[in-house]
Structures are given as structure tokens and as C-alpha cells.
Chains A and B, each alone.
Chain A
Amino acid sequence: MPFILATDALVWLLVVVAAGYALYCRRHVHLAVPWRRVFQSPAAMASTVVLAAFLAVGLLDSLHFRPQLEQKAGEPKAYATEVLSLLDLGLSHLRGRGEKTYSAPLATRSYAKEQVELPDGKQMRDFPRLRFGGAHLKDEGDRDADVVKRTLGGFAVSIFFVLLTLLAVKKLNAKNPDIPWHAAGAALCVLLLLAGPAIALCTVYHVLGTDKVGQDVFYLALKSIRTSLVIGTLTTLVLLPVGIALGTAAGYFRGWVDDVIQYIYTTLNSIPGVLLIAASVLMMQVVIDRHSDWFSVAAQRADFRLLVLCAILGLTSWTGLARLLRGETLKLSQLEYILAARAFGVRDSRILARHVLPNVSHIVIITMVMDFSGLVLAEAVLSYVGVGVDPSTNSFGTMINAARLEMSREPVVWWALATAFAFMFALVLAANLFADAARDGFDPRVRV
């Protein structure tokens, strides 16, 4: 049975909006030209590919359903309380194969000693064999050879796709030579070369190890992507209307409207951000706990908290955008085409919508892409402090939070932290590179 979480609905709404915006851009030169300029930057093309990969994982993870329970004939259909996504379905071999506790990447034995019973009935403390990791091996000594064999197999498949990519790049280059397809191709090749062996190995090993309760870290990292994307995009959905409305209103109407709005955002800015967010999240948590009847399944509850976090982050971080827009609108409203519109008796609301907004849209776009990476990092920090997402939600923040204890353990468990770091680094770096290109493309000094 399909099951739509609130964030799913909003994420897909955002996808629709983005598609609509793309169509709108195609038909408006003043938007199409800067976007074309953005995609003429090699860095932007490469980061687009990386972001697209993250996005694909995130979107697959945003199609939820509740599996049907097996029942005897005649009974009414019943559904599990567990909510799964298409991604879970694809990774079921990762999700189901929990170990008891920590195990290193590609290990065959646990990372913690246990009492094991020997065949002769004696007991001793040893590192037990893992239930799934490398379980197919008859002799543990064959592990290295097996890993190499599977890696090479994975590479072989990758190389097939790499060749396909190169061919496509060549075709696209001939068709559209001013876009740096080779950069996108290179990024895609790197992704393919990483993905091939990972997929080949992950069916029988824990590629990136397991965490404290034996969950596969690779799976956790993939599941965390959605949380990051949701935080990075849905927050802007909250932030944009507030920031745009208040910023342009302050700059256009001036006088007491400007005073009031400036007063609000100065006050908001003076409150320490983490404190404000922590207080809001904790208050919302109380509300959630008191109204547990609002949610039919646990996933819904965690999802609601994620949504609330987005809203709170959005409501506390619109000030930067508003301030930028106020300044730009102050400048614009003195321009003569706005005076000319006023001389026609055009209404203020229409002037704001037709004359001011399209001319500040570059600031909005630049702020949006620049804020994305900041929000992804903010989520990690907040979850680390304990006021971020629900502990049951997979996120890079919760992974890092858990790593606090693992780092002080002897011997150190490094792989969970390293994985969270690598995934976040790739995501944020790609987002930042893209933001840089977007800023250059929309720079008003290179006017269309």
C-alpha cells in the first residue's frame, strides 16, 4: 500500500515546481541565458552529475509504502506498521542482514570478542564469525582472493558503462559543443568506477562495516542522503516566501513597514541561533509526545519532526535573504521603470510582482543554492547536539553523534565517521561548486 509521508509530498511538490521553473526558464531569455552560462562551467557540470546521483537516491527513498502482511485467505488485508521506501526494497539485502555489533569493512569476523562455544564443548572468548559478512566463504583465508575477484568483476561492469558514457559524451559534444560534457562524463565515470565494485561486494560483505547494533554502514549512509536533501531543500521552501515577502516589502514601502521588518530581523538575528532552534525543537518534541494519536506509525512521527526541523530552520534563517533583498529593492525602487509604472497608476502589489521580483530573482537563486550546503551542515551539527532529527531517522548527524563514543573506544571504530564524512563532503562540495557557478552565471555585472 503506498504511504505518503508529509516530507515525501513536499519533496515531490518541489520536483514539480523545479520542472515548472525549468520550463518557464526555457521560454524567458533573461533566465535561460544565465542558466546556460552556469552549465558552461565544467565544475558545474561535474557537480550536477554528483548532485543528480545523490538526488536519485534521495527520490527513490521518498516513495514509501507499507508492505502487505502474509495472511491466510479470507482474512482482511493487513499492512505492516513498518514503512519502507523503494530504496529499502532495492537494498533489502543490506537492510535485512544485521550483525550483532561492530564489524570492520569487508570483515568476516566481529570487531568485539564474545564467548563462543567450540565444537568440543569448551568455551572461549574470540572474535566470532559474522552471520552474513563473508558467510559464503568456506575458508576465511580465501577472503582476500574473493574480494579481489569480486572487485575486478565490478570494475568490468563499470568499464562497460564507462565506455557507454564516453560514447555519449562524444555524441553530445558534437551536438552541443559549448557545454563541457567531458566534465560531466568524467564525474560520471568516477561514480561508475566506485559504484561497480561497491555493488559487487555489498551483496556478500559489509563494504563499509557495521555499526554498534550491527546495521550496515553503507546502507545507513545511503538512507541519510534523503534526510540531508530534505533539510537542504524543504527549508528553503519555508525560507523563501518569508524572506522574499518581507525583504521586498521593506525595501519597497520603506517608512514604518521597513522599520518593523528591520526590527524583527535584527531581533531574530541577535538571539543565538542554536539556542533558538534548540528551544523550538524541544518545544515541538513535547507537542509531538503529547499527541501521539496524530501519527498512525512511528515513521510518521519521525518524519513530522524532520518537517518541523525544516520549518524552524527556515523561520530562523530567512533574515539573510531578507536583508539582501531589502537592499536590492531599495536600489530598484528608485529606478525609473518603477517610477514609470507608478506614473501609470499600477498597483503596488503588481509592481512588486512584475517589476521588483523578476529583477531580484538572481539574488534568490544564488541564496538558495548557497544556503543548501549550509543547511546540510547545520542539520549535522544540530543532530550531533541532539536537537536535530528524531534519533530513529537516519542522518549524517546521527551517524556522527554515534561516532562520538566510537572514537573514544579502543580499538577505534573509524569507519562510520569516515563514511559520514566522505558522503557529506562529496554532497557539500558538489553543492558549493554548483553554487559558485550559479553565482557567476547570475552575476548582474555580466548582464544579458
Chain B
Amino acid sequence: MTGHVSEAVLEISGLRTQLDTPRGTVHAVDGVDFELRRGECFALVGESGSGKSMTALSILRLLPEAGRIAGGRVLLGERDLLALPEAAMRAVRGRRVAMIFQEPATALNPVLTVGRQIAEVIERHTSLTGDAVAKRVLELIDAVGIPDAVRRSGEYPFQLSGGLKQRVMIAAALAAEPEVLIADEPTTALDVTIQAQILDLLAKLQIERSMAILLITHDLGVVARMAQRVAVMYAGEIVEVAQRDAFFAAPQHPYAQKLFQALPSPDKRGGELSVIAGQVPPLTGGFTGCRFADRCEFVFARCRQEAPQLIAPAGSGGQGRLVRCHLREQGLDAARSVAVQKREEAQMADTGATVIAQLEDLKVHFPIRKGLFKRTVGYVKAVDGVSLEVRTGRTLALVGESGSGKTTAGKALLRLIEPSGGRVVIAGRDLASLSQAELRASRGVMQIIFQDPYASLNPRMRVAEILAEGMLSLGIGSSERDRTKRIEGLLDQVGLPAEALARYPHEFSGGQRQRIAIARALAVEPKLIVCDEPTSALDVSVQAQILNLLKSLQDRLGVAYLFITHNIAIVEYLAHEVAVMYQGRIVEQGTAAQVLCNPRHPYTVALLSAVPAVAR
């Protein structure tokens, strides 16, 4: 790709999109320029709210009702898509520019067979009819790597797995051989191994058909694997454009640099992840200076007065490199340091800490009931004989894909789900032998933090009530005043101001809510916290804050974590020991170094190799 610049298929200039909300007009996309060249994959990266999805929807003019395009041009060849009448636009969508979405489960119509849904696109956009359409459908299903095309084309979406559904979506998008494919987070809803397959498929199709792909994603790993060129979006603007290799070697905009530093990775073990202070500014008002100024550590007076333009940094020598930063007028910044440290094996080794929780042959079987009398005809073995040990002050990561039973195992450990067999021993007591009342009293030892900070806090309770609930229930704190003092201490520990107490959860951002959830768990002084994907709903920079917090709490309080996750990078950064779960069983277990550097089980090998890595 380097050197040779192929022709542009799609040219976007000065695109501005606005959303009308009760709080005012949000300038979701505010002057975005880029071009998409034939046969290249161009990645648009950014955190939630950066405007990357709005850009994609604006190109196809599929904005939500409150949105409107306020200016700019979208040139597809010679035609400005923004100037076309709606009828002509329909001929463009799917025919010349196709789109695939994040959630394959809702993007397919559940009452039509997949063959029918692909055929619909073909009939709409090509002159094929009758048998020719059917033949083409089979070709397409075959092309996206779904085996047994004849049978699959007659099936309904519910009969297909998530990965297969996404393949069907891709087949439908390819049906009319579009010049441009917009992929909006195409693999975010999928497991790592499936994600790898879908990304490989997209890369293959792109080369075969010399199609241009606009890839929208928040995952730098996916970008590293797929893209030829990268644009980083922040607060409705593109802040950096670069070739992939140049970008990953030396990101130039301070925001992009920070994003890399916030990513958890093995070389940052033991240290703190760097975080981006503050939040994305509200996009309702105008900006006088740089939009990143308030969060930037290199900020100087000019940043606040003059909005930087997208410039080619001095000394970059062309190569299409553009950065929106005053600093880059002086030249390129140094390359990112990728220090691949040798793991300190000593730190990994079992230091002989006491076992706080022990699972022995834990089983959770859900009965399948059928018939009039609900007879049990079989079992779903969600967790099928899991044995684990969690030690005081250490982190055991339970890794696996969706459906592997890792969350069920975590809930069974807390007796939130009744186990069907095996033993759970926590702090020396076998939970199964406890009566309901005794179990209730011993709840304080073990706590849980959930994935979704929006669903895990009762929207009808103030923060103070949320934090006090566990203490009241478990009789911690002798008086109201004592509890209030403890609650204030907790807020301080998780880094929230004391005035948060009187507020409701909806007044907080996702990261702050997760802090409240952590404070809630800490309120009863647990020895073990089950962390069920606590950062997977958060942006990278917020994830870094939460991981730092969890780590420092462990250092100070000596809590043990059972960290349930599918994110290998977090495991590398945080975990002392790792257990890999597959179909309800643990297939490999050991210290983090052993499992991650030297995997034995074929599934672990497959899982690790599927992870798209930023730098390895």
C-alpha cells in the first residue's frame, strides 16, 4: 500500500451532523474529512460518543429521527450522496454502499429464512430473477464460508449462531457487489474466536473484490489486524489520520497516545495504567480552543485560544499523515515504547497465601422440562465439575467465551444460583452445610461486581441508601452515624466526592457508577469479590481507571478477586492465576505466566491466537 495511492471511491468533506436533544443541539459530527480508497480498509476509531457511528450513518443518510446533516459533501464517484433525492438514495444503499451492523441478532428479520433475506437484496438491486437469484444466494452463502449452503439458506435466523448470523449479514451486504462496505463494530457482539473468523473473512473478501471497507470500531486490536489506514475520532472531529504501521509505531495526537497507554498489557503489570483525566466535553456548545485541551497533559496557552487544524506534522514527509495538534507543528513525536518485559516469574509463583475460597467439583445443571407435568427430560450442564482455589490478596482470572459457564460458576460460588453438586468452601465454611439464616449472615465474606453499571444500581435509590443496604442487612456498623462515617470512607476509597451520597445513580457516568458498585461491594468488608466482566461495558480510558482502582484496593485491603472476563489483555495485566473454561469445564489452569505464555490445551492456544493484539 505504501507509496502507491489508489483512487478514492468515497470522499467525505466537511461533514457535519447534528442531533436535536432536550439539552440542545448536539454536534455529533463536526467537520469530518476523509477519503476511502479502492481496495483499502479504513478504520475509524474512537470511544463511545466520539461520533464515529454517526459519521457512518450520515454517509448512508440513515440517521435517527432527531438527527440531520447540517453540511458537507459525501462524494461517491462523481455524485454527492447528500444532494440525492431519497428515491435515488435507495438505489445507492445496498447497491453501491452496503452496511453491516454490530448486533447480528436484531439485524435479521426473524420470520424470513436467511436465503429469502439475501434474495431480497439481489432482486432489489440486480436484474436477476427466478432460479438465477437462488443460485446467486447459494454462491454468496458459500462465499462467506457457511458450509452446507443449500440447507442453511432455508433456515431461520434463530437456528443460526451469532457468528453465522453475522456471516449472513455480510452475504446480504455483498449481494449487489457494492464498492464500499461500512462495517459498524461488526465483531463487538461476538466471541474472540468467532471475531477472528469474521475479520479474516472480511479481509479475504476485501482483497477478492477489491472493495473498500470503512471499519468503525473502538478496539485498537481489531484496527491493528484489519486496517491499512486509521483515523482517530474525538468529540466529533478527526484528530489523527495515518497509515496503520506508522500509527501503531508512533501515535502523534496526545489523545491517541493516551489511548495506547490506557490499554492493559503484560508489560504494564505491577504498575498503574495511565488514565485520561476528565470526560469528553459536551458537544452541545461551541469550542474556542482544542477539544482535548482540558484532558491533555501537554496543554499550553495557545490550545485554549485557537482550535488546531488537521495538519501534516513537520518532517512527516507526506504519507498522508495528519494530526490535529499545535504541538505537531514542531515535528513528529517519538515512537511509542513497547517494552516487552520478561515476566518476573517470582511474582507469579504461589506465595503460599491462604485459600479464601475453594470450589470442589462444582456443578450447576439446569433441568430441561417438557410436557404437561414438566417432567425433567435432561439437563443443561452449565457448570460441570469445576474446581478452583482463590487465595487471599490474589486474583484468579476465569477466562472463557460466552456460554462457557463462567458467569454461572461465579454466581454459584456466591450461592446466587443453587449449585446442583460439589462443594463451595469459603473462609473455611462449607456453604452447602449452612442454613438459609447462616448463609445470610455469612454473605459479607463474598461480594460481586457486575458487568453493566447501568443495570446494577437501583435507579430509585440514592447512593447513600445503596451503600448502606448491605451494612443494614448484615448488621455492620453499630449506629447510623458509624455507618455514615464508613460510607464516606468508602466513597473516598473509590475516588468519588462526598456530595455523591445524596444523588441518584442516573446522575453519574458509566465509570462513576462502576465505582459506586465497587464501593457497595466493599461496604461489607468482603474477603472475596467476584468481578463479573466489570469493565467490558466501559471505554478504554474508563476501563483503565477501574482496573487501577481494583488493583490498588487489592494492595491495600488484601481482597481476593475471582475475575471473570473474556479480555485476555486484562488477564495479562491483572491476574496472578488463570483458569480457562470451555463448555462448563476448566480445560487449563495455572499461573498467569504458565497459561498465557505456554498454553497446553488446544482451546487455550486457539483462544490466545484469536485475540487481536495491538503489539506483540
Contacts and interface: CB of A to CB of B under 8 A. Distances in A.
Contact of A336 (B439, B455, B459, B470): B455
Contacts of B520: 340
Contacts of A358: 458, 460-461
A358 B461 CA distance: 9
A347 B441 CA distance: 11
Contacts of B488: none
B450 interface: yes
B506 A337 contact: no
Nearest to A357: B460
Contacts of A336: 450-452, 455-456
Interface in A25-54: 28-30
Chain A, interface SS category: helix
B269 interface: no
B506 A345 contact: no
B369 to A, nearest CB: 12
Contacts of A30: 459-460, 504
A340 B439 contact: no
Interface string B421-447: 000000000000000000111011011
B416 interface: yes
Contact of B473 (A28, A339, A344, A359): A344
Contacts of B524: 344
B459 A345 contact: no
Interface in A308-361: 335-337, 339-347, 350, 354-355, 358-359
A229 B414 CA distance: 51
A447 interface: yes
Interface string B501-521: 000101000000000010011
Given A30-B504, A336-B450, A339-B411, A344 B474 contact: yes
Nearest to B411: A339
Contacts of B451: 336
A305 to B, nearest CB: 40
Contacts of B521: 340
Contacts of B439: 345
A345 B452 contact: no
B283 interface: no
Nearest to A28: B460
A340 B448 contact: yes
B492 interface: no
Contacts of B474: 344-345
A341 B504 contact: no
Contacts of B473: 341, 344-347, 350
B458 A355 contact: yes
A343 B504 contact: no
Contacts of A346: 469-470, 473
A342 B414 CA distance: 10
Interface string A108-131: 000000000000000000000000
Given A345-B440, A346-B469, A340 B450 contact: yes
A258 to B, nearest CB: 12
Contact of A343 (B448, B458, B506): B448
B211 interface: no
Nearest to B450: A336
A174 interface: no
A341 B517 CA distance: 11
Contact of A359 (B450, B459, B504): B459
Contacts of B416: 339, 342-343
A447 B507 CA distance: 12
Contacts of A275: none
Nearest to B436: A345
Interface residues of A, number: 22
Contacts of A347: 440, 473
A340 B470 CA distance: 9
Contacts of B448: 339-340, 343
A448 interface: yes
A427 B520 CA distance: 49
Contacts of A29: 504
Nearest to A335: B455
Interface string B386-416: 0000000000000000000000000100101
Given A336-B452, A336-B456, A358-B460, A341 B469 contact: yes
B457 interface: yes
Contacts of A447: 459, 506
Pick from B444, B452, B461 the residue with the most CB of A within 10 Å: B461
A358 B460 CA distance: 6
Given A30-B504, A336-B450, A336-B455, A359 B460 contact: yes
A28 B451 CA distance: 28
B443 A354 contact: no
Interface string A431-448: 000000000000000011
A337 B504 contact: no
Nearest to A359: B460
A346 B457 CA distance: 15
Contacts of B461: 354-355, 358
B150 to A, nearest CB: 39
A192 B186 CA distance: 63
B574 to A, nearest CB: 21
B413 to A, nearest CB: 11
Pick from B455, B457, B504 the residue with the most CB of A within 10 Å: B455
A335 B452 CA distance: 10
A52 B155 CA distance: 59
Contacts of B458: 337, 341, 354-355, 358-359
B450 A344 contact: no
A354 B459 CA distance: 11
Pick from B414, B470, B473 the residue with the most CB of A within 10 Å: B473
Interface in A407-448: 447-448
A355 to B, nearest CB: 5
Pick from B452, B460, B461 the residue with the most CB of A within 10 Å: B460
Contact of A345 (B443, B455, B457, B504): B443
B516 to A, nearest CB: 11
A337 B441 contact: no
Nearest to B22: A446
A69 B451 CA distance: 75
Interface string A44-71: 0000000000000000000000000000
A343 B414 contact: yes
Contacts of B470: 344, 346
Nearest to A337: B458
Given A336-B450, A336-B452, A343 B457 contact: no
B11 to A, nearest CB: 38
B473 to A, nearest CB: 5
Given A337-B458, A343-B446, 16 more contacts: A30-B459, A335-B455, A336-B451, A336-B452, A336-B455, A337-B457, A343-B416, A344-B447, A345-B443, A345-B474, A347-B473, A354-B469, A355-B461, A358-B458, A358-B461, A448-B506
Interface of B: 411, 414, 416, 439-441, 443-444, 446-448, 450-452, 455-461, 469-470, 473-474, 504, 506, 517, 520-521, 524
8 contacts: A336-B450, A343-B416, A343-B446, A344-B524, A345-B443, A345-B474, A354-B461, A355-B460
